[in-house]
Amino acid sequence: MDPKTQQVLEAVGHFKDWSNYLLVTTVAALGWVAAKPDLITPRSMKITLICLCGSIVFAIFTLALIPIVAEQIASPPAASSFYAVKANFRWLWLWGPEMELPLKAVCWWQHVLFLAGVIAFTAGAYSHVGTAISKCVPGG
């Protein structure tokens, strides 16, 4: 295998590890947030849970596409970036039309929805703490 292909495959391996760590972190965050509903406003809780669940779904899609992308990189011609490789797969295992999807189409959503969930939680906690403090202050 040529050095360029080997380098891209190593990058895919690091990306797989990163996606897996982010998935585990997101699942832990989802469980923690869901167990502590009194920390944030109800609206922020809904937004946070939706964002984290969406991130988990896209993380599963990302991890499912990585082996397909790695197989396509290993066959010539090698791509300069694994983000440029379009994974070919069938939506319903062996049936249905063959589809083509770049890895970036799912990993981008995994990352953005995780960050949106963190931001929604932080904003909700800040709003909730501000409301709780103003109720405790005389004349608030």
Condensed to tens digits (0 to 9), the pLDDT of residues 92-131 reads: 767 778 888 889 999 999 999 999 999 999 999 888 776 6
Per-residue CA distances from 17 to 13, 25, 39, 59, 104 (Å): 6, 12, 31, 12, 16
Condensed to tens digits (0 to 9), the pLDDT of residues 4-43 reads: 788 888 989 999 999 999 999 999 999 999 998 888 999 9
The number of angstroms, rounded, from the C-alpha of 113 to the middle of its chain's C-alpha atoms is 6
Helix (H) or strand (E) holding 53: helix 42-74
Rounded to two decimals, the pTM is 0.84
My answer on whether omega of the bond before 77 falls inside 30° of 0, hence cis, is yes
Structure tokens at 75: 């066959």
Q: Is the model's pLDDT at 137 over the cut of 80? A: no
β-pairing verdict for 95-102 and 86-92: antiparallel
Helix (H) or strand (E) holding 85: none
